[in-house]
Amino acid sequence: IKTIGVLTSGGDAPGMNAAIRAVVRAALFKGYKVKGVRHGYNGLLTGDIVDMNLRSVSEIIHRGGTILYTARCLEFKTLEGQQKAAQACREAGIDALVVIGGDGSFRGAKDMAAQGIPCIGIPGTIDNDIACSDYTIGYDTAMNTAVEMIDKLRDTTQSHDRCSVVEVMGRNAGYIALNTGIAVGALVTLIPEVPFDLDRDVISKMKETQKTGKKHFIIVVAEGAGKASDIANEIQARTGIDSRATVLGHVQRGGSPTLRDRVTASRMGYHAIELINKGIFNRVVATRAESIVDYDISVALSMYKTIDTALLDISHAISI
């Protein structure tokens, strides 16, 4: 291996830049050449590939988004697209590829490996929904952003004695919602992993807490569990409490990455290059109990991760 390519793919996440920086600098440090592929797998199909030097990744460790841009690429999902992408790697002299992204991006990396291009995956997604890893780059920043936003919402919710139903991101997972719900003191947190009944779990709890003097309410709902507007309308119709829906949306994807995201991204990027340097390929870098580990891509994609629903019990017990 002489030249390593790096790309970001799928949804962007704060800390992806810190990961790119770590990959580029660690690779150059160990004597490799580095090429940046822009706009995810698209860049391989369109030849959007740039040489990366030490200064190409200056001033980005604190920046959200990804300097390499990211994209979803449908053509790459076809065998012809994958063959074309592998050929593009060979033509650009890319001997191994580091892919920063989510599950979909790792499926793509597995396909590239099948076409003879060795790959390493680094989990970058705010949703924390990568089964093999306890933690994904961007998750901490997204949660901190959500907390900051909901704290602001609390001020106005409290002033008007309202109920705020806040929808947070997370795709089909409730990780962001669960932790954010605890951090903002939500009365109830609704996540896709745990079925809920609006009457039993939300409305009756609101009425109970009203009896002990509670006048305003924050309900956190994961995007995979329901729509904030539907839930707010339903609550208002059944309780008469002025209820508003807020969808935090894409702000959760942006912003300067937290220390945790920067450090994790740096460790993971460095680990990816160490693997390549040892001749170990087609792995996904992950965290396991604070350590950086790695798994075979196919194994990683077949793994399953559960959510710590004990956190829901805690949330339930201390929001009464």
Catalytic residue annotation? 127
> Between residues 205 and 253, which has the closer beta carbon with respect to ligand ADP?
253
Sheet with 163-168, edge to edge strand ranges: 188-190, 217-222, 163-168, 243-247
Q: Locate tokens 């790697």: which residue?
A: 89
Q: Whole-angstrom Cα distance, residue 263 to residue 101?
A: 17
Type and span of the H or E element at 289: none
- Residue 113 beta carbon to ligand ADP: minimum distance, rounded to whole angstroms: 11
177 Cβ neighbours under 8 A, 6+ residues apart: 168, 170, 189, 190, 191, 220, 221, 222, 225
Q: Could you write out the DSSP letters of every residue in 76-109?
A: GGSHHHHHHHHHHHHHHT--EEEEEE-HHHHHHH
> Between residues 28 and 297, which has the closer beta carbon with respect to ligand ADP?
297
Type and span of the H or E element at 140: helix 139-159
- Residue 182 beta carbon to ligand ADP: minimum distance, rounded to whole angstroms: 25
> Between residues 57 and 297, which has the closer beta carbon with respect to ligand ADP?
297
- Residue 87 beta carbon to ligand ADP: minimum distance, rounded to whole angstroms: 16
Q: Give the interface with ligand ADP as residue ranges (CB under 6 A).
A: 9-11, 40-41, 72-73, 76-77, 101-105, 107-108, 111, 125
**Nearest residue to ligand ADP, using CB?**
104
> Between residues 28 and 73, which has the closer beta carbon with respect to ligand ADP?
73
